[in-house]
Structure 1
Amino acid sequence: MEAKKTPKADLTKKTGLFLNIGLAVSVGLVLFAFEYKSYEDFGLKDLGTIDDDFEELLDIPITEQPPPPPPPVEQPIIEEIPDEVEIEEKIEVNFDVDVKEETVIKEIVIADAPVEEKADAIFDVVENPPEPAGGFEGWNKYLSSNLKYPTQARRMGIEGTVYVVFVVNTDGSIQDVDVLRGIGGGCDEEAIRVVKAAPKWTPGRQRGRPVRVKMRLPIRFKLS
């Protein structure tokens, strides 16, 4: 036979109630644990008043130091000379020079130092410039009789003035002939040839001495 239980004795119907009650009790215990405060009685001790002497330590009197003494001044040593000692100065005067009224002092004239002129120096301007044989009139005659018009310049119709430069030596000979400004067509070469073949010139003179002089002359080429 199966045992029969009364409905009042069946506890399974109240499990939910018991569960809620258990949860409520657990939550309450947890909150109580967090909110619970405990205090320890260590006992208060009366420290009383502490005597400090900080102000006394900080109040230090200022010590005054006297200024350093000045350095000793060295007094000059004065040597006394007795009055009996006389200081003698010996001055020698020579009166052996005989001065006569008739003595004449010559006047000293300072002359300028002579200007040294180098023999190889070439002058551009001198007191007496060089001249060709027979003067410049004879020079024009020499050119007219010896100057040949170049065939190339004549064929091309070239005419104008060739400027030549050369040096007249102390013996009147001519050297270093060159064209200063030419016109081309063979005229430059012809002008150099004529000047080199010219007879000797009269040399230029500076302070009465023959010197080398640089000359510049025009030679004109004109078609007739």
Structure 2
Amino acid sequence: MEAKKTPQADLTKKSTMFLNLGLLVSVGLVLLAFEWKSYDDRNLMDLGQVADDFEELLDIPITEQPPPPPPPIEQPIIQEVPDEVEIEEKIEVDFDLDVKEETVIREVVIADAPVVEKADEIFDVVENAPEFPGGMEAWNEYLRKNLKYPTQARRMGIEGTVYVVFVVNTDGSIQDVEILRGIGGGCDEEALRVVSNAPKWTPGKQRGRPVRVRMRLPIRFKLG
């Protein structure tokens, strides 16, 4: 049979209060242990009553060391140098010159260096230009007789001016015939043929000497 307890004898109701009370006491003891101060009065002395003997200390003089002796001075060695030997040079000057008053000094004339012309040099502009035998009228007459209008250019209706460039040699012969500007249709080839087969020209001259000259001439093709 289970024993019954009276409410007054039940201690579990006050367990919370006892726990808080125990914690409070524990915290108080810890704080008291940290704040507790203790002093040791056994070894304390009054420094004012201690007899001092500082005045009785002996004065120790400063040790003085003598300065080091100066280094010995080396005297320079003086050597006797013999007197310089004077050398006399005899210079013989001959003033006996035979000067004639009739001596004539010729004036030196500096002439311009001659202009050397290269034999293979080709000129574009000369003092005397090359010329077709009989002049330009004879040249135009030669073109009218020998120039043939190309069939292709006639069929295509091509007309215009072909510019030909060539070199006239010192003997009047023609070489290096080229088209400077053409019009096509066979006209360029016909112009080259006619100029290449032309008779010799009168060569151009520079300072009176025949030179090679480059010529540029127009050849006109016109229908009708």
Q: Same fold (TM over 0.5)?
A: yes
CA distance in structure 1 between the partners assigned to 2:101 and 2:132 by the alignment: 64
Counterpart-to-counterpart distance in 2, 1:125 and 1:138 = 22
2:113 maps to which residue? 113
Runs of 4+ residues over 4 Å off in structure 1 = 12-16, 22-32, 47-50, 87-91
Structure 1: which amino acid aligns with 2:181? Answer: R
Is 1:43 matched with 2:47?
Answer: no
Query: Hey, what's the Cα distance between the residues in 2 that align with 1:191 and 1:29?
Result: 138
3-state DSSP of counterpart to 1:152: helix
Query: Which residue is 2:68 aligned to?
Result: none
Paired residues for 1:131-170 under 5 Å: 131-170=131-170
Letter in 1 for 2:101: K
How big is the shift at 1:109? 1.4
The equivalent of 1:218 in structure 2 is 218
Question: CA–CA distance in 1 between the matches of 2:104 and 2:158?
Answer: 79
Q: Return the offset for 1:45.
A: 6.3
Amino acid of the residue matched to residue 98 of structure 2?
V
Shift of 1:200: 0.6
The alignment's TM-score, normalised by the length of structure 2, stands at: 0.66
> Which residue of the partner structure matches residue 9 of structure 1?
none
- Rounded Cα–Cα distance in structure 1 between residues aligned with 2:145 and 2:9: 169
**Partner residue in 2 for 1:98:** 99
Q: Deviations over 1:109-144 (max 9, x none)?
A: 111110000000000011111111222111111100
Residue 207 of structure 2 corresponds to 207
CA shift, 1:162, in A, is: 0.6
CA distance in 2, matches of 1:157, 1:25: 135
Question: Any residues of structure 2 matched to 1:18-33 within 5 Å, and which?
Answer: 23=22, 27=26, 32-33=32-33
Q: Report the alpha carbon displacement of residue 107 of structure 1 after superposing the two structures with TM.
A: 2.3
Residue range with higher mean Cα deviation, 161-170 or 22-31: 22-31
1:157 Cα deviation (Å)? 1.0
Q: Do the aligned partners of residues 162 and 24 (structure 1) sit closer, same or farther apart at CA in structure 2, a change above 3 Å counting? A: closer
AA partner of residue 126 (structure 1): V
Q: Aligned partners of 1:25, 1:177: CA distance in 2, in Å?
A: 134
Call closer, same or farther: CA 1:152–1:34 in 2, change over 3 Å.
same
CA distance, structure 2, for counterparts of residue 171 and residue 180 of structure 1: 24
**Does residue 177 in structure 1 map to residue 177 in structure 2?**
yes
Which residue is 2:125 aligned to? 125
Give me the CA root mean square deviation: 3.7
Amino acid at match of 1:132: F
Q: Which residue of 2 aligns with 1:6?
A: none
Aligned partner of 2:128: which letter? Answer: N
Q: State the TM-score, normalizing by the size of structure 1.
A: 0.66
Deviations 1:165-188 (A, max 9, x none): 000011111011001111111111
In structure 1, stretches of 5+ residues that fail to align are 1-11, 51-78, 80-84
2:57 is matched with which residue? none
Return the offset for 1:96.
2.5
> In structure 2, the residue corresponding to 1:141 is in which secondary structure?
helix
Q: Give the AA of the match of 1:164.
A: V
Q: Corresponding residue for 2:77? A: none
Which residue in the other structure is 1:82 paired with?
A: none
Q: Could you say if the C-alpha distance between residues 31 and 192 of structure 1 is closer, same or farther in structure 2, counting changes exceeding 3 Å? A: closer
Letter in 2 for 1:188: D
